[in-house]
Amino acid sequence: MLAEPRHDESADASTARPRVDYFYDEGIGNYEYGRHHPMRPHRVRMTHHLVVNYGLYKQMNIFRPKPAAYGDLTTFHSDEYINFLRTVTPENMEEPNFRSVLERFNICDDCPIFDGLYEYCQAYTGGSIGGAARINQGCSDIVINWAGGLHHAKRGEASGFCYTNDIVLAILELLKVHARVLYIDIDIHHGDGVEEAFYLTNRVLTLSFHASHDTSGTSFFPRTGHINDTGGKAGKNYSVNFPMFAGVDDVAYESIFKPVIRKIMEKFQPSVVVFCCGADSLSGDRVGCWNLSIKGHAAVLEFVKTFNLPMLVLGGGGYSIRNVARCWCYETSRLLGTPIADQLPWHEFMDYYLPDYKLHVPVSNMRNENTPEQLEARLQKVLENLSQIECAPNVQMHHAPNALDPGADSEEDEEEAINADRRRARGRRPHMAEYFDDDETVADRMISGRMGLDSEDIGEMLSCGCVDECECRPPNPFVASLRANGR
Ligand SMILES: [Zn+2]
């Protein structure tokens, strides 16, 4: 008999004191994707300084992550790709042996080779895997790793500022102990890398809320996450996508988020939650096009917390870095159940928060391009799909791939078999990069990157990003074949 998650929506967050672990590598802020690159690991250091100066660190176990080892990373990623990441440098990347594979591994302007790239991957991934291990050991109720959440990385390919997929690796770790893992992604981009890894299994339910188009109507990176992409084979209806147009505000978001979560908790009954808290869904983000306040962003995280399941809370995107730091610090406080003042404590990065030095900032007056009717229609469709899944499938536990144990029976492992299926079907993907001026006040977006499909595009969860079925997207061969076979 499976126990229902203990849901206490009315719980006073200020009195509930979970055991919280916090992973932080003090070197993380020194990595630089490039001078004009919008992804800045420094934002994690800024978050940390707020966390420390608000005194929140006193209520958490602070860990410096153990760098993810080669064997950890190749639990999901291909040996060839990880070998490449650990040997390529800005100095040698033009040598013939590296140059010949740059395109295959999707090394480009938004996924550049920079100094310390492999160590960076080891640090942010090590935090997520280490956090999952803490949860598995029953040592912690909530683990935070703001440096993690790089949800676009594929098995053998960088994508969307992500190189190694710490989320997939953390979930694989959790599957060693947990029968069912719920993955929730509130980054404004579709969590394509995580969805793809678990598209065919019913042990991981992936739920992504994301933008389908930006304010100009352009399909939003990574152009996947169609509402009708729901999983395949045993995983049918265990991939949940909720795309929305620009301008999503707090009220609209909460109105669709809560019913979906309640339904998943009722039907899927996960024993652990992994949460990607990408902050590019905040109002005013340099890349995003939504209008969430920091409190609205945190409210959905807090709602999930009321189900009293162990949670691994990760970062993700977020490109107006002062707001990312505000948001993740505030969310740290909400996870701890500790109120913090709106006036920021003095610290060395204070100048970022000029002129008011406040934690909370107003949202913009942008229009919400999602009508209540559209949202309700999408909500009903998602709930209908979820009602199709078997209530808490009786999963037979077995060993998940064990990167630390070379003798693990990975050949017989379900996840490995699933990944093998996916590998055979995978290939190159169309890529759309988004670049921004280094000046955060200038939202001069350029869309560039390789367009179009080629014969190797099979296997991607490609969709046009449209909310409803439409004719404007080329068929995704992998999804199309699953549909044709009635899966
Ligand atoms: Zn994002």
CA distance 436 to 414: 41
Confidence (pLDDT) at 395: 61
**What is the helix (H) or strand (E) element at residue 443, kind and residue range?**
none
* 174 alpha carbon – ligand 1 mean position (Å): 24
Instruction: Specify if 85 maps to a domain.
Output: yes
Whether the pLDDT of residue 136 is over 90: the answer is yes
Q: Are strands 272-276 and 433-435 parallel, antiparallel or unpaired?
A: unpaired
- Per-residue pLDDT band at 390 (split at 50, 70, 90): confident
Q: In this predicted structure, what is the pLDDT of residue 106?
A: 98
pLDDT in tens, 50-94: 999 999 999 999 999 999 999 999 999 999 999 999 999 999 999
Which domain range does residue 208 map to?
20-484
- 244 part of a folded domain: yes
Q: Is residue 331 part of a domain?
A: yes
pTM: 0.82
Contact 328, 28 (CB under 8 A): no
The C-alpha atoms of residue 158 and residue 252 are separated, in whole angstroms, by: 33
- Which residues line ion ligand 1, judged by CB < 5 Å? 187, 189, 278, 280, 317
Residue 163 has pLDDT above 90, yes or no: yes
CA dihedral sign, ordered 51, 57, 61, 64: positive
User: How many CB atoms sit inside 10 A of residue 37's CB?
Assistant: 18
* 152 in catalytic set: yes
What does the pLDDT read at residue 396? 57
Mean pLDDT, the chain, integer:
83
Inside any domain, residue 4: no
Residue 21 has pLDDT above 90, yes or no: yes
86 contact partners, CB below 8 Å, separation of at least 6: 70, 118
CATH of the domain at 189: 3.40.800.20
**Of the residues 37, 49, 151, 152, which is catalytic?**
152
C-alpha of residue 246 to centroid of ligand 1, in Å? 14
pLDDT of residue 9: 56
For residue 438 the two structure tokens come to 């280094």
Reading the block at residue 100, the tokens are 């010949």
CB 277 within 8 A of CB 330: no
Count of structural domains within the chain? 1
3 within a domain of the structure (yes/no): no
**Helices 166-174 + 117-136 axis angle, to 10:** 20
- The SS3 of residue 23 is strand
Task: Compute the CA torsion angle 235, 196, 421, 119 (nearest 10 deg).
Answer: -130
User: What's the gap in Å between 201 CA and the centre of ligand 1?
Assistant: 24
Lowest mean pLDDT, pick from 4-13, 218-227, 253-262: 4-13
Q: What is the pLDDT of residue 434?
A: 26
Residue 2 within a domain: no
Tell me whether residue 427 is annotated as binding. no
CB 278 within 8 A of CB 185: yes
User: Is 14 domain-assigned?
Assistant: no
In a domain, 355, yes or no: yes
Q: Mind listing the pLDDT tens digit for each residue in 346-366? A: 999 999 999 999 999 999 999
Average pLDDT over residues 29-56: 98
Q: Is 126 annotated as a binding residue?
A: no
Residue pair 57/114 in contact (Cβ under 8 Å)? The answer is no
Percent of the chain exceeding pLDDT 70 equals: 77
β-partners of residue 282 are: 292
pLDDT at res. 187: 98
User: Could you tell me which residue, 201 or 475, shows the higher pLDDT?
Assistant: 201
Which has more confidence, 433 or 340? Answer: 340
Share of the chain above pLDDT 90, in %: 75
Average pLDDT of the segment spanning 416-424: 38
Q: Is the pLDDT of residue 406 over 80?
A: no
Is 37 annotated as a binding-site member? no
